[in-house]
């Protein structure tokens, strides 16, 4: 039984990690082939920094993600505070519409925004590009921020806010000095979620990016012919960075827990 | 602070960028190029019924495979020590941090006719097998990409199950089958239903996986919609009709699975 269990774990983990090992291995491959191993090289890691298209796509992805996540966090946080104050039917109506981008398949969010921008283009003069990309990313990010801030608001003791008012704060001061610190963990996790979804998104960006290419869109365009090994190299670097960050965070939280239990 | 008006900027955003686009999908689905009301787009869909059916079947099979694969994983994980649970969770979620297009592309080099798996079998004088551009490859791609979406909700309901219930069932003479059907499955139902929707919805609407791993053989709803908006057969009216049907399909699937689990507190996420 124990051996079976171990074998099962090996099978599942091999399944999950096989493509990733293939990718990392072939980022060191001498030829451009994705199946034939011809020898070890680091040249793709050097080439990567000379490849303007990939570097540009990388920065587009980063800029869009940071702007979209920041705006979505602000918008989503005040939205959550407002929704929390609403009465029954208003609340459920707003929440249900807000969750549409979460519930709907991405492709539908993507094409519906495409339709909207096309209608707008009859009235205003603009092209698909950074602007449409950022707006669509904000749109699908906001629900995740609301989702992670709402529970924190529910847990919060409303009397603390009233106490701040009694002690002479005006409502704005009370909001920033009492409410915001209280719901901060929700805001931060919402921001991080928005950031990762934004960096990873392909489908919605694909329909709304126009000439501005994010990394996933660039990869898709390449995949029709051949994904260049530089892209493997970039992904390997990004993967290692994330691995290190996650490792550090986990080690820290495990250590913190041990301290608490002592 | 008890003022709901603070959310006004968001409500405006929501109305313009979430609500209005969905209304546009409905509007386009029922109009022709000149903006006249028509049912033609809807009736034209009957030609594509086989594609819809194939999408549902492929996504359905992928969902079942995911469930069967993820259930033991989640169970084993929920029985580990707290720290190890955390580490295992990280190990399972880690692949998701690499872009799914690249991971799917890597499967292409694994499954190809002169790909790595066939080379491995070739060492033993077997093959080559025909793996890429089949329905099986598409299902594999779906299972691979969405397996963590099944493990996550299953695991989070299973850690809450009191293990003494399982032990009690064993003490009272239940064999593995009985423990599973009478204790574990009923208690983990909310996780199962959430997992099913989280795997079925993206599988059913994908166009990347089918195009990369399925070749021309496995055309799906997503491919059709893509063609109407960015592809050769530009026709947003027909595309909107397809999207509307897909949306109804997804809502139907969710209401069915949520109907099974009355505990709707965890229904959506």
pLDDT in tens, A236-258: 998 999 889 888 887 877 777 77
Q: Indicate whether A11 and A27 sit together in one domain.
A: yes
Q: Does the residue A254 lie in any domain?
A: no
pLDDT in tens, B103-117: 999 999 899 888 888
β-pair partners for B31: B37
* B118 contacts on A by Cβ (under 8 Å): none
pLDDT band at A111 (very low <50, low <70, confident <90, very high): very high
Q: Indicate whether A102 and A23 sit together in one domain.
A: no
B110, B239, B269 member nearest A147 (Cβ): B269
Structure tokens at A205: 């960006």
Q: Indicate whether A74 and A24 sit together in one domain.
A: no
User: Within an 8 Å CB–CB cutoff, is residue B222 touching chain A?
Assistant: yes
Q: Indicate whether A31 and A105 sit together in one domain.
A: no
- Residue B263, C-beta contacts closer than 8 angstroms, at least 6 positions apart: B189, B190
Residue A21 has pLDDT above 70, yes or no: yes
Q: Indicate whether A91 and A149 sit together in one domain.
A: yes
Q: Indicate whether A114 and A27 sit together in one domain.
A: no
User: Within an 8 Å CB–CB cutoff, is residue B21 touching chain A?
Assistant: yes
Rounded CA separation A208/A214 (Å): 11
Q: How many independent structural domains does chain A possess?
A: 2
* pLDDT for position B77: 93
Interface of B with A in 98-117 (CB under 8 A): 98-110, 112, 114-116
Rounded CA separation B197/B255 (Å): 10
Q: Indicate whether A118 and A176 sit together in one domain.
A: yes
Q: Does the residue A233 lie in any domain?
A: no
Q: How many residues does chain B have?
A: 269
Residue B80 has pLDDT above 80, yes or no: yes
Residue B101 has pLDDT above 70, yes or no: yes
Interface of B with A in 40-99 (CB under 8 A): 69, 72-73, 76, 83, 86-87, 90-92, 94-99
* A116 contacts on B by Cβ (under 8 Å): 16-17, 20-21, 24
For residue B74, give the nearest of A16, A250, A12, A15 by alpha carbon.
A12
Q: Indicate whether A115 and A223 sit together in one domain.
A: yes
Each domain of chain B, given as residue ranges in start order, spans 48-266
A139: exposed, middle or buried (Cβ count in 10 Å: 0-12, 13-18, 19+):
buried
Q: Residue A222 belongs to a domain with what CATH number?
A: 1.10.3720.10
Domain limits at A4? 1-50
* A26 contacts on B by Cβ (under 8 Å): 109
Average pLDDT, stretch A103-110? 94
pLDDT in tens, B212-234: 998 877 789 999 999 999 988 89
pLDDT, mean over chain A:
90
Q: Do B7 and A94 touch (CB under 8 A)?
A: yes
Q: Does the residue A23 lie in any domain?
A: yes
Q: Indicate whether A74 and A17 sit together in one domain.
A: no
Rounded CA separation A134/A234 (Å): 23
Q: Indicate whether A102 and A198 sit together in one domain.
A: yes
Q: Indicate whether A18 and A38 sit together in one domain.
A: yes
Q: Does the residue A194 lie in any domain?
A: yes
CA-based nearest distance A34→chain B, Å: 6
Predicted TM-score (pTM) of the model is: 0.90
Superfamily holding B48-266? MetI-like (1.10.3720.10)
* A17 contacts on B by Cβ (under 8 Å): 95
Q: Indicate whether A219 and A153 sit together in one domain.
A: yes
């Amino acid at each position: 039984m124990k051996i079976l269990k171990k074998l099962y774990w090996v099978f599942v983990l091999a399944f999950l990690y096989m493509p990733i090992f293939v990718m990392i291995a072939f980022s060191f491959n001498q030829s451009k082939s994705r199946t034939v191993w011809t020898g070890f090289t680091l040249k793709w890691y050097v080439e990567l920094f000379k490849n303007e298209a990939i570097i540009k796509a990388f920065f587009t992805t980063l800029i869009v993600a940071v702007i979209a996540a920041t705006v979505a966090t602000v918008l989503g946080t005040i939205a959550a505070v407002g929704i929390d104050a609403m009465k029954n039917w208003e609340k459920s109506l707003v929440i249900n519409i807000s969750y549409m981008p979460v519930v709907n398949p991405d492709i539908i969010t993507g094409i519906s925004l495409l339709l909207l921008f096309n209608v707008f283009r009859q009235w205003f003069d603009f092209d698909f590009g950074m602007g449409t990309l950022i707006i669509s990313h904000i749109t699908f990010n906001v629900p995740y921020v609301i989702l992670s801030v709402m529970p924190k608001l529910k847990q919060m003791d409303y009397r603390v806010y009233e106490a701040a008012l009694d002690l002479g704060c005006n409502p704005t001061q009370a909001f920033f000095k009492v409410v915001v610190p209280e719901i901060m963990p929700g805001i931060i996790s919402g921001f991080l979620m928005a950031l990762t979804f934004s960096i990873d998104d392909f489908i919605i960006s694909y329909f709304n990016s126009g000439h501005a290419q994010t990394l996933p869109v660039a990869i898709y365009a390449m995949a029709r012919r051949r994904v260049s090994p530089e892209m493997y190299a970039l992904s390997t670097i990004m993967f290692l960075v994330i691995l290190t960050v996650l490792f550090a965070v986990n080690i820290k939280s495990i250590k913190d827990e041990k301290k608490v239990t002592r | 602070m008890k003022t709901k008006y603070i959310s006004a900027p968001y409500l405006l955003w929501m109305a313009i960028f979430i609500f209005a686009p969905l209304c546009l999908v409905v509007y386009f689905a029922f109009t022709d190029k000149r903006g006249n009301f028509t049912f033609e787009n809807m009736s034209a869909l009957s030609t594509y019924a086989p594609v819809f059916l194939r999408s549902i079947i492929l996504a359905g099979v992928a969902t079942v495979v995911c469930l069967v694969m993820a259930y033991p994983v989640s169970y084993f994980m929920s029985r580990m020590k707290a720290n190890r649970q955390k580490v295992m969770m990280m190990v399972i979620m880690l692949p998701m941090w690499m872009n799914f297009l690249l991971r799917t592309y890597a499967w292409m080099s694994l499954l190809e006719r002169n790909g790595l798996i066939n080379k491995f079998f070739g060492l033993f004088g077997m093959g080559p097998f025909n793996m890429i551009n089949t329905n099986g490859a598409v299902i594999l791609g779906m299972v691979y990409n969405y397996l963590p979406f099944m493990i996550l909700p299953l695991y989070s309901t299973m850690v809450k199950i009191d293990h003494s219930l399982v032990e009690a069932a064993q003490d009272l003479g239940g064999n593995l089958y009985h423990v599973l059907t009478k204790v574990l499955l009923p208690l983990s139902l909310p996780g199962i239903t959430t997992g099913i929707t989280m795997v079925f919805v993206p599988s059913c609407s994908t166009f990347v996986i089918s195009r990369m791993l399925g070749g021309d053989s496995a055309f799906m709803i997503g491919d059709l919609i893509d063609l109407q908006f960015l592809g050769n057969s530009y026709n947003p009216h027909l595309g909107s009709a397809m999207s509307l049907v897909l949306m109804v399909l997804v809502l139907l699937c969710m209401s069915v699975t949520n109907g099974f689990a009355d505990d709707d507190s965890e229904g959506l996420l």
